[in-house]
Structure 1
Protein backbone atom coordinates (compact mmCIF):
# COMPACT_ATOMS: atom_id res chain seq x y z
CA UNK A 1 0.00 0.00 0.00
CA UNK A 2 1.44 3.35 -1.04
CA UNK A 3 1.46 6.32 1.32
CA UNK A 4 0.71 9.68 -0.26
CA UNK A 5 1.30 13.15 1.22
CA UNK A 6 -1.60 14.98 2.87
CA UNK A 7 -0.32 18.22 1.38
CA UNK A 8 2.55 19.40 -0.83
CA UNK A 9 5.70 20.01 1.20
CA UNK A 10 8.23 20.72 -1.55
CA UNK A 11 7.41 24.46 -1.50
CA UNK A 12 7.73 24.86 2.28
CA UNK A 13 11.11 26.59 2.09
CA UNK A 14 10.26 28.72 -0.94
CA UNK A 15 9.86 32.36 0.12
CA UNK A 16 7.73 33.19 -2.91
CA UNK A 17 5.36 30.30 -2.23
CA UNK A 18 5.08 31.34 1.43
CA UNK A 19 3.47 34.62 0.35
CA UNK A 20 0.41 32.64 -0.70
CA UNK A 21 0.07 30.55 2.46
CA UNK A 22 0.76 26.89 3.05
CA UNK A 23 0.26 24.88 -0.16
CA UNK A 24 -2.53 22.33 -0.23
CA UNK A 25 -4.05 19.89 -2.69
CA UNK A 26 -6.96 21.67 -4.38
CA UNK A 27 -9.94 19.50 -5.27
CA UNK A 28 -10.65 18.67 -8.93
CA UNK A 29 -11.82 21.75 -10.85
CA UNK A 30 -15.26 21.55 -12.44
CA UNK A 31 -16.02 23.01 -15.83
CA UNK A 32 -16.33 26.81 -15.61
CA UNK A 33 -19.19 27.48 -17.99
CA UNK A 34 -19.60 27.19 -21.72
CA UNK A 35 -16.28 28.84 -22.53
CA UNK A 36 -14.37 26.09 -20.73
CA UNK A 37 -13.97 22.77 -22.57
CA UNK A 38 -12.38 20.96 -19.60
CA UNK A 39 -13.32 19.56 -16.21
CA UNK A 40 -10.41 18.20 -14.21
CA UNK A 41 -10.65 14.84 -12.44
CA UNK A 42 -7.44 15.32 -10.48
CA UNK A 43 -6.24 17.40 -7.54
CA UNK A 44 -3.62 20.11 -8.04
CA UNK A 45 -1.04 21.92 -5.91
CA UNK A 46 -2.46 25.26 -4.81
CA UNK A 47 0.90 26.93 -5.47
CA UNK A 48 2.24 25.52 -8.76
CA UNK A 49 -0.75 23.69 -10.25
CA UNK A 50 0.99 20.30 -10.45
CA UNK A 51 -1.18 17.22 -10.62
CA UNK A 52 -1.27 15.32 -7.32
CA UNK A 53 1.17 12.36 -7.50
CA UNK A 54 -1.47 9.86 -6.38
CA UNK A 55 -3.82 11.10 -9.11
CA UNK A 56 -1.00 10.93 -11.67
CA UNK A 57 -0.39 7.26 -10.85
CA UNK A 58 -4.13 6.50 -10.86
CA UNK A 59 -4.55 8.11 -14.30
CA UNK A 60 -1.48 6.30 -15.68
CA UNK A 61 -2.80 2.95 -14.45
CA UNK A 62 -6.09 3.45 -16.31
CA UNK A 63 -5.14 5.40 -19.44
CA UNK A 64 -2.39 5.66 -22.03
CA UNK A 65 -0.70 8.84 -20.84
CA UNK A 66 2.35 10.45 -22.38
CA UNK A 67 4.82 12.80 -20.72
CA UNK A 68 6.20 15.72 -22.72
CA UNK A 69 9.17 17.45 -21.13
CA UNK A 70 8.96 21.22 -20.82
CA UNK A 71 11.95 23.41 -21.56
CA UNK A 72 14.86 23.44 -19.12
CA UNK A 73 14.51 27.14 -18.32
CA UNK A 74 15.58 26.47 -14.73
CA UNK A 75 18.54 24.34 -15.82
CA UNK A 76 16.97 20.98 -15.09
CA UNK A 77 13.92 18.91 -16.18
CA UNK A 78 11.55 20.70 -13.81
CA UNK A 79 8.20 20.00 -15.53
CA UNK A 80 6.32 17.60 -17.75
CA UNK A 81 3.06 18.03 -19.58
CA UNK A 82 0.89 14.98 -18.92
CA UNK A 83 -1.08 14.30 -22.11
CA UNK A 84 -4.03 11.95 -22.48
CA UNK A 85 -5.83 12.65 -19.20
CA UNK A 86 -9.53 11.88 -19.81
CA UNK A 87 -11.79 14.93 -19.99
CA UNK A 88 -15.15 14.31 -18.27
CA UNK A 89 -16.62 17.16 -20.35
CA UNK A 90 -15.75 15.33 -23.60
CA UNK A 91 -18.26 15.97 -26.34
CA UNK A 92 -20.06 18.76 -24.49
CA UNK A 93 -20.58 21.99 -26.39
CA UNK A 94 -18.23 24.85 -25.63
CA UNK A 95 -17.88 28.35 -27.04
CA UNK A 96 -14.80 30.22 -28.22
CA UNK A 97 -15.07 34.00 -28.03
CA UNK A 98 -13.63 36.96 -29.88
CA UNK A 99 -13.36 40.19 -27.92
CA UNK A 100 -13.36 43.75 -29.19
CA UNK A 101 -15.44 46.74 -30.09
CA UNK A 102 -19.08 45.90 -30.67
CA UNK A 103 -19.21 47.38 -34.16
CA UNK A 104 -16.33 45.14 -35.35
CA UNK A 105 -17.46 41.82 -33.89
CA UNK A 106 -20.23 40.87 -36.34
CA UNK A 107 -17.71 39.51 -38.86
CA UNK A 108 -16.38 37.05 -36.25
CA UNK A 109 -19.74 35.77 -35.02
CA UNK A 110 -20.67 32.11 -35.37
CA UNK A 111 -24.08 31.60 -37.00
CA UNK A 112 -26.89 32.60 -34.64
CA UNK A 113 -24.74 34.66 -32.28
CA UNK A 114 -24.47 38.41 -31.75
CA UNK A 115 -22.10 40.57 -29.72
CA UNK A 116 -22.83 40.67 -26.00
CA UNK A 117 -21.45 42.76 -23.17
CA UNK A 118 -19.12 41.06 -20.71
CA UNK A 119 -17.45 41.90 -17.43
CA UNK A 120 -14.23 40.08 -16.64
CA UNK A 121 -14.85 40.40 -12.90
CA UNK A 122 -11.96 42.75 -12.20
CA UNK A 123 -13.34 45.99 -13.52
CA UNK A 124 -12.89 45.56 -17.26
CA UNK A 125 -15.97 45.66 -19.39
CA UNK A 126 -16.32 45.24 -23.11
CA UNK A 127 -17.93 43.21 -25.85
CA UNK A 128 -17.54 39.66 -27.03
CA UNK A 129 -19.12 37.31 -29.54
CA UNK A 130 -19.20 33.54 -29.83
CA UNK A 131 -16.88 32.93 -32.77
CA UNK A 132 -16.85 29.10 -32.70
CA UNK A 133 -18.94 26.33 -31.24
CA UNK A 134 -17.08 23.08 -30.74
CA UNK A 135 -17.30 19.81 -28.86
CA UNK A 136 -14.96 19.50 -25.90
CA UNK A 137 -12.01 17.17 -26.61
CA UNK A 138 -11.79 13.64 -25.19
CA UNK A 139 -8.54 14.29 -23.35
CA UNK A 140 -6.74 17.12 -21.64
CA UNK A 141 -3.25 18.00 -20.44
CA UNK A 142 -2.11 18.29 -16.83
CA UNK A 143 1.21 19.58 -15.50
CA UNK A 144 3.61 17.58 -13.33
CA UNK A 145 6.38 19.44 -11.50
CA UNK A 146 9.24 17.14 -10.54
CA UNK A 147 9.80 19.08 -7.30
CA UNK A 148 6.79 17.15 -5.98
CA UNK A 149 8.93 14.02 -5.95
CA UNK A 150 10.37 15.53 -2.74
CA UNK A 151 6.90 15.19 -1.17
CA UNK A 152 7.21 11.41 -1.48
CA UNK A 153 9.13 8.68 0.23
CA UNK A 154 9.52 4.93 0.00
CA UNK A 155 7.38 3.06 -2.47
CA UNK A 156 5.40 6.17 -3.49
CA UNK A 157 8.63 7.88 -4.60
CA UNK A 158 9.77 4.77 -6.46
CA UNK A 159 6.39 4.36 -8.20
CA UNK A 160 6.29 7.93 -9.47
CA UNK A 161 10.02 7.97 -10.36
CA UNK A 162 9.58 4.72 -12.33
CA UNK A 163 6.65 6.24 -14.25
CA UNK A 164 8.70 9.33 -15.11
CA UNK A 165 11.64 7.17 -16.23
CA UNK A 166 9.39 4.99 -18.41
CA UNK A 167 7.34 7.78 -20.00
CA UNK A 168 9.57 10.83 -19.60
CA UNK A 169 13.09 9.52 -20.15
CA UNK A 170 14.59 10.86 -16.92
CA UNK A 171 15.52 8.83 -13.84
CA UNK A 172 15.12 10.67 -10.52
CA UNK A 173 16.41 9.62 -7.12
CA UNK A 174 16.83 11.23 -3.71
CA UNK A 175 20.17 11.86 -2.07
CA UNK A 176 18.97 12.69 1.44
CA UNK A 177 16.47 15.46 0.72
CA UNK A 178 18.17 16.49 -2.52
CA UNK A 179 16.58 15.46 -5.81
CA UNK A 180 19.01 14.11 -8.42
CA UNK A 181 18.37 13.09 -12.02
CA UNK A 182 19.98 11.68 -15.11
CA UNK A 183 18.65 11.58 -18.63
CA UNK A 184 18.15 8.07 -19.94
CA UNK A 185 19.60 7.12 -23.31
CA UNK A 186 17.30 6.33 -26.15
Structure 2
Protein backbone atom coordinates (compact mmCIF):
# COMPACT_ATOMS: atom_id res chain seq x y z
CA UNK A 1 0.00 0.00 0.00
CA UNK A 2 1.44 3.36 -1.02
CA UNK A 3 1.38 6.56 1.05
CA UNK A 4 -1.77 8.10 -0.47
CA UNK A 5 -3.78 4.92 0.00
CA UNK A 6 -2.60 4.67 3.59
CA UNK A 7 -3.65 8.25 4.31
CA UNK A 8 -7.08 7.62 2.77
CA UNK A 9 -7.51 4.42 4.83
CA UNK A 10 -6.54 6.34 7.96
CA UNK A 11 -9.12 9.05 7.15
CA UNK A 12 -11.77 6.36 6.60
CA UNK A 13 -10.86 4.66 9.87
CA UNK A 14 -11.16 7.98 11.73
CA UNK A 15 -14.64 8.52 10.26
CA UNK A 16 -15.69 4.98 11.17
CA UNK A 17 -14.32 5.45 14.68
CA UNK A 18 -16.26 8.69 15.14
CA UNK A 19 -19.41 7.01 13.89
CA UNK A 20 -18.90 4.14 16.32
CA UNK A 21 -18.36 6.59 19.19
CA UNK A 22 -21.56 8.37 18.24
CA UNK A 23 -23.50 5.12 18.14
CA UNK A 24 -22.32 3.86 21.53
CA UNK A 25 -23.04 7.07 23.37
CA UNK A 26 -20.11 9.46 23.11
CA UNK A 27 -22.68 11.96 21.81
CA UNK A 28 -23.99 12.13 25.35
CA UNK A 29 -20.82 13.93 26.41
CA UNK A 30 -20.68 16.13 23.33
CA UNK A 31 -17.76 14.53 21.50
CA UNK A 32 -19.61 13.73 18.29
CA UNK A 33 -23.07 15.21 18.58
CA UNK A 34 -22.21 18.80 17.66
CA UNK A 35 -21.24 18.17 14.04
CA UNK A 36 -20.06 20.81 11.61
CA UNK A 37 -22.08 23.63 10.08
CA UNK A 38 -25.43 22.31 11.25
CA UNK A 39 -24.81 18.70 10.17
CA UNK A 40 -25.00 16.06 12.87
CA UNK A 41 -21.86 14.38 14.13
CA UNK A 42 -23.01 11.08 12.65
CA UNK A 43 -23.44 12.70 9.23
CA UNK A 44 -19.93 14.15 9.37
CA UNK A 45 -18.51 10.83 10.54
CA UNK A 46 -20.28 8.92 7.74
CA UNK A 47 -19.02 11.44 5.17
CA UNK A 48 -15.42 11.25 6.41
CA UNK A 49 -15.50 7.45 6.63
CA UNK A 50 -16.97 6.96 3.16
CA UNK A 51 -14.62 9.55 1.68
CA UNK A 52 -11.58 7.84 3.15
CA UNK A 53 -12.49 4.28 2.22
CA UNK A 54 -13.79 5.13 -1.27
CA UNK A 55 -10.71 7.25 -1.99
CA UNK A 56 -8.47 4.43 -0.73
CA UNK A 57 -10.17 1.98 -3.06
CA UNK A 58 -9.88 4.39 -5.97
CA UNK A 59 -6.24 5.04 -5.11
CA UNK A 60 -5.52 1.32 -5.30
CA UNK A 61 -7.39 0.92 -8.58
CA UNK A 62 -5.75 3.96 -10.15
CA UNK A 63 -2.31 3.08 -8.75
CA UNK A 64 -2.18 6.68 -7.55
CA UNK A 65 1.46 7.69 -7.40
CA UNK A 66 1.30 11.20 -8.82
CA UNK A 67 -0.63 14.26 -7.64
CA UNK A 68 -3.17 13.99 -10.47
CA UNK A 69 -4.04 10.38 -9.63
CA UNK A 70 -4.27 11.21 -5.91
CA UNK A 71 -6.59 14.13 -6.72
CA UNK A 72 -8.72 11.84 -8.90
CA UNK A 73 -8.93 9.31 -6.06
CA UNK A 74 -9.96 12.13 -3.72
CA UNK A 75 -12.64 13.28 -6.17
CA UNK A 76 -14.00 9.72 -6.35
CA UNK A 77 -14.03 9.66 -2.55
CA UNK A 78 -16.04 12.90 -2.41
CA UNK A 79 -18.46 11.63 -5.08
CA UNK A 80 -19.11 8.54 -2.95
CA UNK A 81 -19.28 10.45 0.35
CA UNK A 82 -21.88 13.06 -0.69
CA UNK A 83 -24.70 10.58 -1.38
CA UNK A 84 -23.79 8.75 1.84
CA UNK A 85 -24.13 11.97 3.85
CA UNK A 86 -27.47 12.76 2.18
CA UNK A 87 -28.70 9.25 2.99
CA UNK A 88 -27.63 9.60 6.64
CA UNK A 89 -29.41 12.98 6.88
CA UNK A 90 -32.61 11.53 5.41
CA UNK A 91 -32.51 8.46 7.63
CA UNK A 92 -31.88 10.63 10.70
CA UNK A 93 -34.82 12.90 9.87
CA UNK A 94 -37.04 9.89 9.24
CA UNK A 95 -36.05 8.33 12.58
CA UNK A 96 -36.68 11.59 14.45
CA UNK A 97 -40.18 11.94 13.02
CA UNK A 98 -41.50 8.42 13.54
CA UNK A 99 -44.99 8.82 14.99
CA UNK A 100 -45.53 7.13 18.35
CA UNK A 101 -48.51 6.56 20.57
CA UNK A 102 -49.00 8.69 23.64
CA UNK A 103 -47.53 7.32 26.85
CA UNK A 104 -50.30 5.82 29.00
CA UNK A 105 -51.06 7.89 32.10
CA UNK A 106 -52.51 7.02 35.47
CA UNK A 107 -55.96 8.18 34.38
CA UNK A 108 -55.88 5.60 31.55
CA UNK A 109 -56.05 2.83 34.17
CA UNK A 110 -59.55 3.85 35.28
CA UNK A 111 -62.13 1.76 33.48
CA UNK A 112 -59.76 -1.07 32.63
CA UNK A 113 -61.03 -4.60 33.04
CA UNK A 114 -58.69 -7.18 34.49
CA UNK A 115 -58.24 -10.33 36.49
CA UNK A 116 -56.96 -10.95 40.01
CA UNK A 117 -53.54 -12.65 39.94
CA UNK A 118 -52.83 -12.43 43.69
CA UNK A 119 -55.93 -12.70 45.91
CA UNK A 120 -57.13 -9.49 47.54
CA UNK A 121 -58.16 -9.73 51.19
CA UNK A 122 -58.87 -6.36 52.83
CA UNK A 123 -57.11 -4.57 54.41
CA UNK A 124 -54.21 -6.18 52.49
CA UNK A 125 -53.80 -5.53 48.81
CA UNK A 126 -53.36 -8.09 46.09
CA UNK A 127 -52.46 -7.86 42.43
CA UNK A 128 -54.44 -7.60 39.23
CA UNK A 129 -53.47 -7.80 35.57
CA UNK A 130 -55.17 -5.30 33.26
CA UNK A 131 -54.64 -4.24 29.67
CA UNK A 132 -53.59 -0.64 29.13
CA UNK A 133 -53.09 0.56 25.55
CA UNK A 134 -53.11 -3.08 24.49
CA UNK A 135 -50.35 -4.14 26.88
CA UNK A 136 -50.81 -6.35 29.94
CA UNK A 137 -49.87 -4.50 33.14
CA UNK A 138 -49.67 -6.01 36.63
CA UNK A 139 -50.68 -3.61 39.41
CA UNK A 140 -51.15 -3.62 43.18
CA UNK A 141 -54.87 -3.62 43.90
CA UNK A 142 -57.17 -2.88 46.80
CA UNK A 143 -60.86 -3.67 47.10
CA UNK A 144 -63.67 -3.27 49.64
CA UNK A 145 -64.27 -7.03 49.66
CA UNK A 146 -62.14 -10.12 49.35
CA UNK A 147 -61.54 -11.20 45.76
CA UNK A 148 -60.19 -14.66 44.90
CA UNK A 149 -57.59 -15.60 42.30
CA UNK A 150 -59.05 -15.37 38.80
CA UNK A 151 -61.90 -12.98 39.69
CA UNK A 152 -62.76 -10.51 36.94
CA UNK A 153 -62.44 -6.90 38.14
CA UNK A 154 -63.08 -3.35 37.00
CA UNK A 155 -60.70 -0.51 37.94
CA UNK A 156 -62.60 2.35 39.61
CA UNK A 157 -59.65 4.45 40.80
CA UNK A 158 -55.91 4.76 40.20
CA UNK A 159 -54.34 5.91 43.45
CA UNK A 160 -50.84 5.88 41.93
CA UNK A 161 -49.15 4.72 38.75
CA UNK A 162 -48.84 1.21 40.26
CA UNK A 163 -51.85 0.91 42.62
CA UNK A 164 -55.54 0.73 41.77
CA UNK A 165 -58.86 0.26 43.54
CA UNK A 166 -61.04 -2.41 41.93
CA UNK A 167 -64.56 -3.78 42.15
CA UNK A 168 -65.67 -7.24 41.07
CA UNK A 169 -67.40 -7.45 37.73
CA UNK A 170 -70.90 -8.85 38.00
CA UNK A 171 -71.28 -12.31 36.40
CA UNK A 172 -72.51 -12.28 32.82
CA UNK A 173 -75.87 -14.04 32.87
Greater share of strand residues, 1 or 2? 1
Larger Rg: 2
TM-score, normalised to structure 1, is 0.19
Higher relative contact order (CA 8 A, sep 6+): 1
Greater share of helix residues, 1 or 2? 2
